[in-house]
Amino acid sequence: MPALPLFTRIPYCKPVGIAMFAMVLSGCAQQKTAGYYDTPHDNTMTDAQAYAQGRTGTRAPSQIRLGFGDEEGKKPKSAAEPATEGNAVKARPLAEAKTFLGTLPCLVNTPACSATRITLTMAPAGQWRARTVMLDNPGAENDIIQQGCWAVIGTKPLRVVLQLKNEATKANLSFINDNVLRVNMINDTKPTLDYHLTRQQDIDPIDELASEPAPQCD
C-alpha cells in the first residue's frame, strides 16, 4: 500500500498539539497562588497614619502654647470648669502664642534717640517678652530686654497694655486684626503717625530671659 502524502498527516497533528498546549497552560495556572494576579490597592488609613506619625516631631508655630517656662506644668482645665482668666476670654487673637515685629523711628527729640526694631512675643497665660534693638547702634550689648504682663483694656477694637514688673506701662497696643498691632503709645510717648507690629511666622521666645523667672500674671 503506497505511503500517504505528507499533507494528509497535518490534520491529525493539529488537534494533538492544541490539546497538549492547553494541558500545559492548565498546569501553570494551578501553580499560581490565589490572588496572584490581584493588583494591590493603597490603604488610605494606613498611609494617613504613617504620614501623621512621621510628622509628630514637628508642630506649626501657631500650635505652640508658649508659657515662658510655666505653661507645661499647668493642669489643663476641664470643659466644665468656668474660665477665670478674663484676659484669655476677651483676647481671642491671643488664644495662642504670637510674635510681632516692627520698626519705630525716634519718637522723642533728643540727640541720643535711635530708631528701634521691636520684637514682641505674647503668651496666652498673660505674659509678654520684648527685645528692642537700637538700629543706630546695633549690638547685643545695647539691646533692651524686658518682660511683664499684658492686660485687656478695651474690646472695640481689642486693646492691650503691656505692664512691666514694677507695674509701669511699657506700651499701649490695638489689634487692627489678629495679626497686626497698632502702636498707640510706647515708653510714655504717643506717636503722631501710625506704626505697626506684624505677626511673624516663627515664635521668638526671647531666649535672653530664659534664666529669668516668668512673671505671675492674673
Q: What is the dihedral of CA 113, 118, 124, 125, to 10 degrees?
A: -40
| Residue 218: pLDDT band with limits 50, 70, 90 | confident
User: Residue 193 sits in which domain range?
Assistant: 87-106+113-203
- DSSP conformational letter for 189: B
215 part of a folded domain: no
pLDDT at 210: 93
65 belongs to a structural domain: no
Phi, psi angle pair for 185, to nearest 5°: -160, 140
- Taking 80 as the threshold, does the pLDDT of residue 178 lie above it? yes
Lowest mean pLDDT among 16-25, 43-52, 199-208: 43-52
Under DSSP, is residue 180 helix (H, G, I), strand (E, B) or coil?
Answer: strand
Assigned domain for 140 exists:
yes
> Which CATH number characterizes residue 180's domain?
2.40.128.640
Rounded mean pLDDT, 73-95: 54
Least Cα distance to 196 among 143, 110, 118 occurs for: 118
Q: What pLDDT is recorded for position 91?
A: 73
With respect to residue 78, please indicate whether it lies within any of the assigned structural domains.
no
Answer yes or no: is 130 within a domain. yes
User: Is 70 inside any structural domain?
Assistant: no
* C-alpha dist (Å) from residue 40 to 26, 35, 120: 25, 10, 53
More confident residue, 177 or 112: 177
Q: Is residue 34 part of a domain?
A: no
Specify if 177 maps to a domain: yes
For range 136-146, the mean pLDDT: 92
Q: How many domains does the chain have?
A: 1
Mean pLDDT of 140-147: 95
Amino acid at 64: I
The band of 167, judged by pLDDT with boundaries at 50, 70 and 90, is confident
